[in-house]
Copies of this chain bind each other. A is one copy, B any other.
Amino acid sequence: MKHISIKDVAKEAGVSTTTVSYVLNRKLSQTISAETTERILQAVRKLNYVPNLNARSLTSQRTNLIGVVIPQTEPGKEFMFANPFYGELLSTIEYTARRNGYHLLLSGPDPDQSYSQIARNRSVDGIIIVGSYPNRSITELHQLSVPVVLVDTYIKDPLFHTIGIDDREGGLLATRYLIERGHREIAFVSGSVSEQGVTQKRFMGYMDALNEAGLALNEKRLYLGTVSFDFAQSVAEEMQQRGNQETAAFATADILGMGLIKGMRRLGRRIPEDLSIVGFDDLDLACMSDPSLTTVHQDIAEKGRNAVQIILDAMEGHTEKQEHILPIRLVERESVRRI
């Protein structure tokens, strides 16, 4: 089946390609007679013509493409979605984008290829970066002259929009909640605490709560690994080996909280009787466990919608830098007990 182009339409309708283009783009400056318009529309339908956006972008300078980068668990590994958080987020990003006539170019971070290169390759209209990456790969994006939205990172950059939550406050809420319920020995279970990532802030919140209560930080309470179910399970074992000195744990991601619950159960320990747990994110997951997970809620869908909206706004000329901090709150479920 031959590719049919605007030329074919023009020929069919007996007009020039220019006129077809005008009609198709509803140029307000141009005014085409109703009759011609109709003839062209008919030709379009008859030939089942669909414009080639790549060609269009060549002249029009816009692609209606938004690039999205989602992290992977390990560099070069495939399973970037092991944590359902990203699925939930991507879902709303895709939906919002599509509702506004944009498509998504999805990619994981690639050690072999800078994302700025991909973005230029495809000349995307905007970029949404989820998670924290080496500073270098972020500043590279300066070369592009398209709006960039950084989701969930504390990288400071005067040019890029950001959207996130108050992670430190979240850490504080979670830990304080445990302290208020009588807990003193509180584990901090988390992926690695990277420089500008969210976990660092959540850790600071953890500290804030300890300080507030006059408790000292005990380094033995820190369990740092990867943001994965398996790691959290192994933490349960490690706690056991160390004599189960904690009565509570703050897990900086629900997936970690889930792993802890499971790990404890496998060791014959009860939640929350033997260990109280607070998670973070409030994924669908949090309701699935038994007991269900008390956790810090954030509005993932809103994050996604916002990210896209910022790009759309920027395309409309709203160039001033935006910094959104979405509200969070603690959701009480069943994984914490008062002692």
Contacts and interface: CB of A to CB of B under 8 A. Distances in A.
A154 interface: no
Contacts of A96: 78
A307 interface: no
Interface stretch (A44-52, A163-171, A235-243): A44-52
A53 to B, nearest CB: 5
A199 interface: no
A100 to B, nearest CB: 12
What is the interface of chain A mostly: helix, strand, loop, or mixed?
Answer: helix
Contacts of A103: 105-107, 118, 122
Interface residues of A, number: 58
Interface string A47-62: 0101111110110000
A263 to B, nearest CB: 11
A123 B52 contact: yes
Contact of A123 (B1, B54, B120): B54
Instruction: Identify which of A104, A123, A287, A290 gathers the most chain B CB atoms within 10 Å of its CB.
Output: A290
B58 A55 contact: yes
A258 interface: yes
A197 interface: no
Contact of A121 (B52, B80, B82, B290): B52
Nearest to A305: B78
A92 B78 CA distance: 6
A121 B51 contact: yes
B288 A121 contact: no
Contacts of A258: 288
A241 to B, nearest CB: 22
Contacts of A68: 106
A51 B123 CA distance: 10
Contacts of A143: 1, 48
A180 interface: no
Contacts of A1: 143, 145
B122 A106 contact: no
Nearest to A120: B50
Interface hub of A48, A54, A143, A301 (most chain B Cβ within 10 A): A54
A262 interface: yes
A288 B95 contact: no
Interface string A140-153: 00010100000000
A213 to B, nearest CB: 32
Interface stretch (A83-91, A188-196, A274-282): A83-91
A37 interface: no
A229 interface: yes
